[in-house]
Amino acid sequence: MKLAVVLLLSAVVVGHLAAAPDPPPLPSLLANGLRQLPGLRLLDQSRDLLGGITVDDLKDSGYWPPWLVRDLDRDGRPDVAAVVVKPGPRLQYGVIAIHARNPRVAEWVTPLGTQLLNGIAKGNAADTLIPLFCVDCDANAWFRWSGRAYEAELYAVGEELTLATDDERKVGLFARSSQASRLLFPLMQCTRAVVRRVAGTAGDRWYFVETRSRQRVDGWIPASFVFDAGGCEG
């Protein structure tokens, strides 16, 4: 009887181990890049997570392993982005990206900080990524490479966006990429538009857009007029 129980338990353990997928091999671009970053290591999702999130939770949501491979700088070659950790009395978390065109340089997507990062996910566009400060929520911002740095919610030419403001301030189209310029057309909250040109820098980003309304008009808008489309539903 005891032998049967031991054999049964052994079979369960062996079956569980066999079902657990092995971690995929570390991309060579990432492995070589991490060697250039002494004091940092890759996020270990089996021990670095807090708040009850488990590796199985992340696997079920498609957020494992803690890196992803995408053409982030749009040069036709795969790049890699990953969550890294700086050990210490209190762990610090950040996201780096390593581009194939410059593999010895790690670009910071989000700098090191004490706010927990659970992993990383693909954004809707092929060159975007999402650091996961929370899991299965809509509070995470997506990032895109601007050519100089990673910028939160940077739209590209041809993408659609929604124009609105949280405080119901008027939205409209400007003649130039400056709020000191003339307001050409006032617009209704939640107007949809397509990006035709991008100007400015992070913190002072502007888009030249064409509205999707029946009477189409175009002009410049500041990034502060870009609104989460989900907030306009209902």
Question: CB within 8 A of 50, min separation 6: which ones?
Answer: 116
Instruction: Please indicate, yes or no, if residue 13 is contained in any of the structural domains.
Output: no
Residues pairing with 44 in the sheet: none
Chosen domain end from 90, 119, 152: 152
DSSP 146-195: -SSSEEET---TT-EEEE--TT---EEEESSSSTTS-EEEEE-TTEEEEE
pLDDT tens-place string over residues 82-124:
999 999 999 999 999 999 999 999 999 999 999 999 999 999 9
Give the span between the Cα atoms of 40 and 35, in whole angstroms: 9
Where does a domain end: 128, 152, 176?
152
Place of tokens 């803690």: 66
136 in Cβ contact with 129 (< 8 Å): no
Q: How many domains does the chain have?
A: 2
User: Counting Cβ atoms within 10 Å, is residue 159 exposed (0-12), middle (13-18) or buried (19+)?
Assistant: middle
32 plus 145 within the same structural domain: yes
Q: Specify whether 189 is located in the same domain as 122.
A: no
Mean pLDDT of 150-179: 91
* Structure confidence by residue, pLDDT tens digits, 38-80: 999 999 988 888 777 888 889 998 899 999 999 999 999 999 9
Question: Which of 152, 187, 211 is a domain's end point?
Answer: 152
Quote the pTM value. Answer: 0.86
User: Residue 11 domain-assigned?
Assistant: no
pLDDT, tens digit (0-9, with 9 covering 90-100), for 180-221: 998 898 899 999 999 999 999 999 999 999 998 778 999 999
| DSSP run (H or E) holding 95 | strand 92-98
Calpha distance 218→78 (Å, rounded) = 35
- Domain extent, residue 186, equals 160-232
Mark whether 145 and 176 lie in a shared domain: no
Max Cα separation, the chain? Answer: 88
